[in-house]
Amino acid sequence: MTAEPGDPGRGEELSASGSADVPAEDLAALLRAPGMLTAAQVAELTRLDDDLLGLDGDPLGLGGDPLGPGDGPDAALPQKGLPGRPGDCLDAWLAAESATWLEEPGPERPPGERHEQAGPALGTAAAAAAPAARAQPAVAEAFDAGFTHRGGGQGRGFAAGGDLDRMEPGGRLATAADWVWAEGLGKLSDDELCGFLAAQRRLASRAAAGELAAVHELSARRAGPDGRPGEHAQDELAALLALTGTAAAVLAGHAAAMARLPGVAQALAAGRIDMPKAAVFAAETACLDDIPAAAIAASVLPEAPGMTTGQLRAALRREVLAYDPQAAIKRRREAEKDARVETWAEGAGTAAIAGRDLAPADVIRALKNLDADARWLEQHGVPGTHDQLRARAMIARLSGQPLPSLLPAGGGGPLLFSAPAQPAGLTGSVNLTMPASTWLSLSDMPGEVGGNGAADADTCRDLAAALAAHRGARWCLTLTGPDGRAVAHGCARAGPGPPGTGDPAAWLAGITVVPIEAGTCSHRRESAAYRPPGALRHLIKIRSRRCGFPGCRRPASRCDDDHTIPHHKGGKTCECNLHPLCRRHHRAKQAPGWRVSQPEPGVLTWRLPSGRRFTAVPDPYPA
């Protein structure tokens, strides 16, 4: 801990006379093991939020300030009711606190109602006997072959039925869990470890509830005068938490759902359900008005802690349909408004394409056709599983390739199909970036396909070979610095030809390469017009390949050419004042409270309505 004003600054040992007045018999009862707790440990405890913990600045229930004048961070406390090892300290603290927290009403517990407990509430003098009182008798167990039971442990209250195993999430449980974690989870028995794991889940649920409450409050502050949601509140959220726009929208949606489902929000804060279950409540009641949604959620909520998300979804769906038989139709029609095709890179280096929120009947018909295609390929000798053949048939149909082109040559042998290498499958604009050494087969460094992310060397070479076969393909050369940022660029009217068919050195020598502005701009390509010339637009999109909002992955080819300082306010049409922005973040930049500057070409600094600043720099090229 870093010392704060008023903290003790000397490394002297505290004396017993410096402690608060505590009966000697209580101190003796608390001293269950030799050792001392350092002053720094106690100081850390005392700096916890008293209102959150409800401990009145006395984490061990001993009364008074455990630190006296002149205590240093490394000073040791003699035996004054503060055992030395974290676990011993936890046992004493837990015993002293058990009576308090068991009596206190929780967020969902009416005043006066008590938790069930194995014995009477424990006071300070009885702390030494607490672990023994809570211990469960040993039971003989039979295990399957190969299973080793980790028994023993050191208590710590996480065993089944123990105080910490039943404690609602909050500051006290977090403090106890941190102590046990710091001491080492290997010292826990299987039973205690499971209790600790469940406690962490409850704490995570409470943290999620707090996060959603904060998101809802921020959204409310950004709402318009008529109460309508702020247009760019989600963009601010995405920048603050380094989220994609989609993830920010999902988070904001969950926050709004918890605001209209207060019972679910309370159950989440109390740790009775987790965030995945809260998300199910939000999704399944989204088609209902606030009052019936809250009522149906309340009817299912008591059983939710013992359900899986699948069981919970089914139970909620039954209740929703019983209340409104048309609810499923309404939900489907609303979702179909967001029908789209998505692509993304898979973790194994492969790629995916999917249609989302489509009409179920259309999907079923498409799937049946793919099944028929796969069976036809199988009957004609194409090797592969049914899923592999369906995938090949789907790509062939989407890329305009005839299904017979997937057949083996001469009825057998290797497949002719290689989607990237078939010229007929490459239509429109494909922006391929790859190291020259990869193109020349001198290395296997990865490249990048514009809008689709990184691509391995073989994929890049296949695409390049297919592009080289087209006379209209545009070939450009980008030079990068040690950090991967573009420093120079040039284009040629004709490509170098497939590998091994030409002289790459001669081709490279024929390209005129111009430097890309960095640092202080020389304005050598400035235009007086509002719309940037084609060559300038191309150079801007080579330098900055994505939208300039922090975290946005929209390719520059699908972005607006934004003047950071508006042109009508004196902003230049130049590399130092142009940057690609997607339409959404272009509008955000113009919204009240938002400010954007470009301190050097390609670098954008955003100031959000909250006053926080974020800087976005161009993505580095593969090197």
Ordered DSSP codes for 458-499: HHHHHHHHHHHT-TT--EEEEEE-TTS-EEEEEEESS---ST
Q: Are 574 and 566 in contact (CB under 8 A)?
A: no
pLDDT digits (tens, 9 = 90+) for 259-302: 999 999 999 999 999 999 999 999 999 888 999 999 999 999 99
Structural domain contains residue 186: yes
- Whether residue 220 sits in one domain with residue 231: no
**Domain containing residue 299:** 225-336
CA distances to 264, 400, 401, 433 from 392, rounded to whole Å, are: 45, 12, 10, 26
The widest CA-to-CA distance across the chain, in whole angstroms, is 98
Q: Which two tokens stand for residue 420?
A: 């990237």
Structural domain contains residue 143: no
pLDDT digits (tens, 9 = 90+) for 507-544: 777 788 889 999 999 999 999 999 999 999 999 999 99
Structural domain contains residue 197: yes
Is the per-residue pLDDT at 28 higher than 60?
A: no
- Whether residue 329 sits in one domain with residue 234: yes
- Whether residue 471 sits in one domain with residue 508: yes
Structural domain contains residue 141: no
Name 223's Cβ contacts closer than 8 Å, sequence gap at least 6.
229, 230, 233
Residue 568 φ/ψ region, left for φ over 0, alpha for ψ in the -120 to 50 degree band, beta for the rest:
alpha
Distance CA 434, CA 623 (A): 8
Is the per-residue pLDDT at 482 higher than 60?
A: yes
Distance CA 183, CA 470 (A): 66
The mean of the pLDDT values for the chain is: 74
- Whether residue 108 sits in one domain with residue 64: no
Count of positions (residues) in the chain: 623
Q: Which of 417, 441, 470 is the last residue of a domain?
A: 417
Q: How many domains are contained in the chain? A: 6
Banded model confidence at residue 220, pLDDT cuts 50, 70, 90 = very high
**What angle, 0 to 180 degrees and rounded to 10, lies between the N-to-C axes of helices 262-269 and 290-300?**
40
Q: Which of 379, 399, 417 is the last residue of a domain?
A: 417
Banded model confidence at residue 597, pLDDT cuts 50, 70, 90 = very high
- Whether residue 601 sits in one domain with residue 573: yes
CA distances to 40, 42, 70, 327 from 12, rounded to whole Å, are: 12, 15, 7, 71
pLDDT at 458: 79
Structural domain contains residue 180: yes
pTM of the full structure: 0.63
Highest-pLDDT range among 6-15, 41-50, 135-144, 146-155: 146-155
Of residues 229 and 375, more confidence is placed in 375
Banded model confidence at residue 113, pLDDT cuts 50, 70, 90 = very low
Highest-pLDDT range among 67-71, 132-136, 416-420: 132-136
The C-alpha angle 209, 212, 213, rounded to 5 degrees, equals 85
Distance CA 209, CA 255 (A): 9
Distance CA 193, CA 159 (A): 8
- According to DSSP, the β-strands at 603-607 and 613-616 are antiparallel
Structural domain contains residue 154: yes
Banded model confidence at residue 428, pLDDT cuts 50, 70, 90 = low
Banded model confidence at residue 67, pLDDT cuts 50, 70, 90 = very low
Is the per-residue pLDDT at 33 higher than 90?
A: no
CA-closest candidate to residue 495, choices 475, 515, 470? 475
For 152, the 3-state DSSP assignment is: coil
pLDDT digits (tens, 9 = 90+) for 333-361: 888 888 988 888 787 878 899 998 888 77
Name 569's Cβ contacts closer than 8 Å, sequence gap at least 6.
none
For 582, the 3-state DSSP assignment is: coil
Q: Which of 417, 448, 477 is the last residue of a domain?
A: 417
Residue 433 dihedral angles phi and psi, to the nearest 5°: -120, 125
- Whether residue 216 sits in one domain with residue 95: yes
Gyration radius from the chain CA atoms: 33
Residue 299 dihedral angles phi and psi, to the nearest 5°: -70, -30
The β-bridge partners of 492 are 475
Is the per-residue pLDDT at 215 higher than 50?
A: yes
Distance CA 80, CA 17 (A): 9
- Whether residue 206 sits in one domain with residue 234: no
Q: Which two tokens stand for residue 598?
A: 């470009």
The C-alpha angle 433, 438, 443, rounded to 5 degrees, equals 145
CA dihedral (71, 72, 77, 81) positive or negative? positive
Percent of the chain surpassing pLDDT 90: 34
CA distances to 1, 4, 92, 179 from 74, rounded to whole Å, are: 11, 15, 22, 18
- Whether residue 122 sits in one domain with residue 37: no
The β-bridge partners of 560 are 581
Q: Are 550 and 241 in contact (CB under 8 A)?
A: no
Structural domain contains residue 525: no
Name 345's Cβ contacts closer than 8 Å, sequence gap at least 6.
351, 352, 452, 453, 454
Q: Are 198 and 192 in contact (CB under 8 A)?
A: no
Banded model confidence at residue 90, pLDDT cuts 50, 70, 90 = low
- Whether residue 463 sits in one domain with residue 401: no
Banded model confidence at residue 162, pLDDT cuts 50, 70, 90 = confident
Amino acid at 275: M
Q: Are 60 and 41 in contact (CB under 8 A)?
A: no
DSSP at 455: E
Q: Which two tokens stand for residue 100?
A: 């308090």
Average pLDDT of the residues in 468-474: 70
Of residues 580 and 480, more confidence is placed in 580
- Whether residue 603 sits in one domain with residue 485: no
For 354, the 3-state DSSP assignment is: strand
Average pLDDT of the residues in 205-231: 90
Average pLDDT of the residues in 594-602: 95
Of residues 520 and 12, more confidence is placed in 520
- Whether residue 180 sits in one domain with residue 256: no
Average pLDDT of the residues in 300-325: 90
- Whether residue 278 sits in one domain with residue 330: yes
Distance CA 81, CA 30 (A): 5
pLDDT at 217: 95
Average pLDDT of the residues in 586-593: 92
Structural domain contains residue 623: no
Banded model confidence at residue 80, pLDDT cuts 50, 70, 90 = very low
CA-closest candidate to residue 95, choices 65, 60, 53, 50? 60
Give me the torsion for CA of 473, 479, 482, 485, rounded to 10°: -70
